[in-house]
Amino acid sequence: MDIQKILERHSPEPDNMLNILHDLQDANLQNYLPEESLRQVARYLNTTLSAVYGVVNYYTMFSTKPRGKYIIRLCQSPVCHLMGSETVLESVKKLLGVELDEPAADGLFSLELSECLGICDVAPAMMIGEDIYGHLSEANISKIISEIREKEMSANSSK
Ligand code: FES
């Protein structure tokens, strides 16, 4: 990943910090923002490293720790909680063999909790990347995860 090229997609103005951080995180294979990237952002925007960390730490979509390629964001807000999100959480942990906020051994998934995703009518719900899934149960979660694994395997075998 060429950090400088990503920085130069944006003019060096403080208002561009969020877009720059998004682009850098998206380009990182482990889906996070290493300190060296943040140092370069600070230099490019002529600000301090602590100002950059302030933004990164404020938004939950940014991470300073390596994560899986696919981030599973499981809603923990009241409606999903009432509809069984705790059971769903345990199912996902078991299926992936992970704890919250830790990448799976294969580097493919990370599991995080999220506030309301705005789709309470299909609770319990989760997001994986930009995709939204509702009416979750142990059976359909297993199917969703298997489909992603198969997609990755066929993408890797065609390389
Ligand atoms: S409470 Fe879970 S999507 Fe709204």
User: Would you call 34 helix, strand, or coil by DSSP?
Assistant: coil
Judged against a pLDDT cut of 70, whether residue 89 lies above it is answered with yes
Residues 92, 15: one domain?
Answer: no
Q: Choose the weakest-confidence range: 46-50, 63-67, 100-104, 139-143.
A: 100-104
Tell me, yes or no, whether 81 and 137 share the same domain: yes
Contacts with 91 (C-beta within 8 Å, 6 or more apart), sequence order: 138, 141, 142
Tell me whether residue 114 is in a domain. yes
Q: DSSP string of 28-93?
A: STTSS--HHHHHHHHHHTT--HHHHHHHHHH-TT--SS---SEEEEEE-SHHHHHTTHHHHHHHHH
Q: Give me ligand 1 centre to Cα 131, in Å.
A: 15
**Do 49 and 82 belong to one domain?**
no
Evaluate: CB of 123 within 6 angstroms of ligand 1. Answer: yes
- Give the residue, out of 73, 76, 77, 115, with the most ligand 1 atoms within 8 A of its beta carbon, to mutate for a pocket test: 77
40 plus 99 within the same structural domain: no
Q: In this structure, are 42 and 82 located in the same domain?
A: no
- pLDDT, residue 157, reads 79
User: Looking at the structure, do residues 145 and 79 belong to the same domain, yes or no?
Assistant: yes
How far, in Å, is the centroid of ligand 1 from the Cα of 5? 38
**Tens digits of residue pLDDT in 2-34:** 999 999 999 999 999 999 999 999 999 899 999
Domain residue limits at 137: 70-157
Say yes or no: 138 and 77 in one domain.
Answer: yes
Is 65 part of any domain? no
Evaluate whether residue 64 is within a structural domain: no
Instruction: Tell whether 63 is covered by a domain.
Output: no
pLDDT tens per residue across span 30-47: 999 999 999 999 999 999
Q: Is 126 in the pocket of ligand 1 (CB under 6 A)?
A: no
Both 91 and 129 in one domain: the answer is: yes
What is the per-residue pLDDT for 159?
Answer: 65
Tens of pLDDT, residue by residue over 110-148, are: 999 999 999 999 999 999 988 999 999 988 999 999 999
The CB of 72 under 6 Å from ligand 1? The reply is no
pLDDT of residue 13: 95
Query: Do residues 74 and 54 share a domain?
Result: no
**Both 98 and 37 in a single domain?**
no
In terms of domains, do 150 and 91 share one? yes
Tokens of 158: 């065609």
